[in-house]
Homo-oligomer: A and B are copies of this chain.
Amino acid sequence: MTSAWKNRVQFNESSGGELELWFDERLILKHESSSPMIYLGVGHESVEMYRGNFDIEDYLEERVALRHIEWEETAESVNLHLKPYAGSSFTLQASIQLYNDQLRIDFTPSEPVYNRFWLRVSASEEEAVYGCGEQLSYFNMRGQNFPLWTSEPGVGRNKSTYTTFLADVKDRAGGDYYNTNYPQPTFISTEKYICHVATTAYAEFNFKNQAWHELQAWEIPEAVWFETGESYKDLTERVTEHFGRPPELPDWTYEGIWLGVQGGTDQVQHKLDRARQKGLKVGALWCQDWQGKRVTSFGKRLMWNWKWNPEMYPGLDEKVKEWKSEGVRFLGYINPYVAIDGDLYEEASQKGYVALTADGHDYIVDFGEFYCGVVDFTNPAAYEWYKSVIKDEMIDFGMDGWMADFGEYLPSDVHLYNGESAMIMHNAWPAIWAKVNHDAVKEAGRWGDIVYFMRAGFTGIQGTCPLLWAGDQSVNWSMDDGLASVIPGALSAGMSGCGLHHSDIGGYTSLHGNKRPKELLLRWLDMAVFTPVIRTHEGNRPDDCFQFDDDEESLEHFVDMTNIYTALAPYTKAVVQETAERGIPAQRPLFMEYEADEVAYQLQYEYMYGPDLLVAPVHDENVQDWTVYLPEDKWVHLWTGKAYEGAGEVTVEAPIGQPPVFYRAESAYASLFASLPKQKVYSS
């Protein structure tokens, strides 16, 4: 064994058959006959998808404890041979190695008997855990079980709300606390280690037990690895060393708001003119309907045939150039499906690029009153073709970015070109979809300049997706699906290595009586200013959503807050640079900056924006003031300049336009921060 191994890895064996694995003085695994570290099993799942919502049941036929361990030491590894009992012909080999800085356990079963795997990772009672992709209801996941399966995030996401009830009854779409577009089998523990399970299978991470975390996967994973760190910044740096980091956002990003507008060339020009006349700095126009739209009972939906629609957007090819010359970029929209009534589908189908049913027909997926084929990215030719669609129809058209939507809808029974089970490929799909976009942009030489943004994710998007957005919040104040839910979403994605995050300003989903009130839109903007990108969305039913230009007061508020956003750019750029270079998330939990503060570990509705800004967004309606927890430091309230010192709760006035934000008195950016309130031209 190497000396590094000897210094860092320790096995303790007791005469009673107990085995402990310590790594950098952390108890990682503990095997006792009453609590074996690994169980294997045989399950028979039933998976039903309805428009991206999944009913998943597992009939668990066997779950077998691997109680018996035989030990073998080689030059590079310790190999454990785990068996249900001493004489069993079945063996799971767990080969434990130090690989770079990782403690890596590779698993090799002697026979393909089992399709269920559980690993118990040792836990302490006070431990907290974060990550698992983007989690919208719980930042600290301790005490809950988290199914990890990319899907629609749910409407309401809380079975005790009427919105969720209606969404469930009408569309099977209500969701629950764990539903997310972006799951990932990776977490960071307050014992200061990373744990990652190398699998794309359905997984559940169960953090309910006092003594262990139980990590389940619906296959025997290739490997599980652990890596320790000195600090939480160190840990996110290490996470992104493995999974990748985004480039810095291009400078044009910071030049103004990205206006989500639609309806055709004239309509968009009109909205742009009015906004600019008022003084709104517009960095980009985001027109998701550049390829046309259709109307369904859900709301206005897009055409899903990824080509400029000149009937709806006459002269757009020239307009894009004109706008760009005026400093306004053009952003579009694409997703990995092609509507069956479009010519791209026709081409894909003819060439055999569409994923198939068991009997060899194109697998047609219901997206809600219209139907699509799934482009089969496991077919290299289809992958190439879709890249060329992005290059030819979008990049060459002059786009500087787009929403790369969806990725969660791979049906679990689809037949893929590469022969892999769709149960294994389902979770991988968002990462492959990110890679298609990444490769197209990279090959066009535009990586770091073009910005696409995704809601779906999985292991690996860290390096292939420049920007996350938080998916489809309801246009309301609910904790699990409204404005508030974006914050734990950003924090957990950040701990998972996706450090650049933003959201639809005002939220998206207006269903079952939910209509977006003006107050929600303005509060959402107030929060968004302290994220890397500010972008509006008209919502699925624009007529039921208050819009940025629905009255003068709102438009003026957008002018003022966008001014603050652009004025903050020097700081934001520095923060984003740190994300790009080291993987440290732009929006980060308080404990990442204040490790000693015990309270900080339980907060999920306030965050540090970079090292120097503390942001506690107002996420309730009719609020006059807001109570904020401040860790031990010298703080200045952004709007009043009032100084605070020491740890504890403070209550500040928090009218619209003055989101509770504090800066560190000793920040190098203190004078920039102090100047921000003066950026407002309409109010002060």
Residues of chain A having any CB pair with chain B under 8 Å: 39, 41, 60-65, 84-85, 87-88, 159-160, 162, 165, 168-169
Cα–Cα, bound, A281→B168 (Å): 49
A63 and B65 in contact, given A165-B162, A165-B165 (Cβ under 8 angstroms): no
**Which 6 residue pairs across A and B have the least CB separation, nearest first?**
A165-B165, A63-B63, A160-B169, A87-B87, A62-B63, A62-B65
Chain B residues whose CB sits within 8 angstroms of the CB of A65 once the complex forms: 61-62
Cα–Cα, bound, A60→B214 (Å): 12
- Having A62-B64, A85-B87, A159-B168, one finds 19 other A-B pairs with CB under 8 Å, namely A39-B61, A39-B62, A41-B63, A60-B60, A60-B63, A61-B63, A61-B65, A62-B65, A63-B63, A63-B64, A64-B64, A84-B84, A85-B85, A85-B88, A87-B87, A160-B168, A160-B169, A162-B165, A165-B165
Chain B residues whose CB sits within 8 angstroms of the CB of A88 once the complex forms: 85
Chain B minimum-CB-distance residue to A87: B87
A238 to chain B, nearest CB (A): 32
Q: Which of A162, A165, A168 has the most CB of B within 10 A?
A: A165
A615 to chain B, nearest CB (A): 33
A38 to chain B, nearest CB (A): 12
Chain B residues whose CB sits within 8 angstroms of the CB of A61 once the complex forms: 39, 63, 65
Cα–Cα, bound, A61→B39 (Å): 8
Chain B residues whose CB sits within 8 angstroms of the CB of A160 once the complex forms: 168-169
Chain B residues whose CB sits within 8 angstroms of the CB of A62 once the complex forms: 39, 63-65
Cα–Cα, bound, A62→B84 (Å): 11
Cα–Cα, bound, A615→B624 (Å): 65
A173 to chain B, nearest CB (A): 13
11 contacts between A and B (CB under 8 A): A39-B61, A41-B63, A60-B63, A61-B63, A61-B65, A62-B65, A63-B63, A85-B87, A85-B88, A159-B168, A162-B165
Cα–Cα, bound, A60→B62 (Å): 10
A96 to chain B, nearest CB (A): 24
Chain B residues whose CB sits within 8 angstroms of the CB of A41 once the complex forms: 63
A325 to chain B, nearest CB (A): 55
Cα–Cα, bound, A160→B62 (Å): 32
Cα–Cα, bound, A65→B114 (Å): 13
Chain B minimum-CB-distance residue to A209: B59
Chain B minimum-CB-distance residue to A35: B61
Cα–Cα, bound, A570→B200 (Å): 71
A661 to chain B, nearest CB (A): 36
Cα–Cα, bound, A41→B169 (Å): 36
A64 to chain B, nearest CB (A): 6
Cα–Cα, bound, A64→B65 (Å): 9
Q: Which of A41, A63, A162 has the most CB of B within 10 A?
A: A63
Cα–Cα, bound, A160→B39 (Å): 37
A88 to chain B, nearest CB (A): 7
Chain B residues whose CB sits within 8 angstroms of the CB of A169 once the complex forms: 160
Chain B residues whose CB sits within 8 angstroms of the CB of A159 once the complex forms: 168
A290 to chain B, nearest CB (A): 39
Chain B residues whose CB sits within 8 angstroms of the CB of A165 once the complex forms: 162, 165
Chain B residues whose CB sits within 8 angstroms of the CB of A85 once the complex forms: 84-85, 87-88
Cα–Cα, bound, A162→B164 (Å): 12
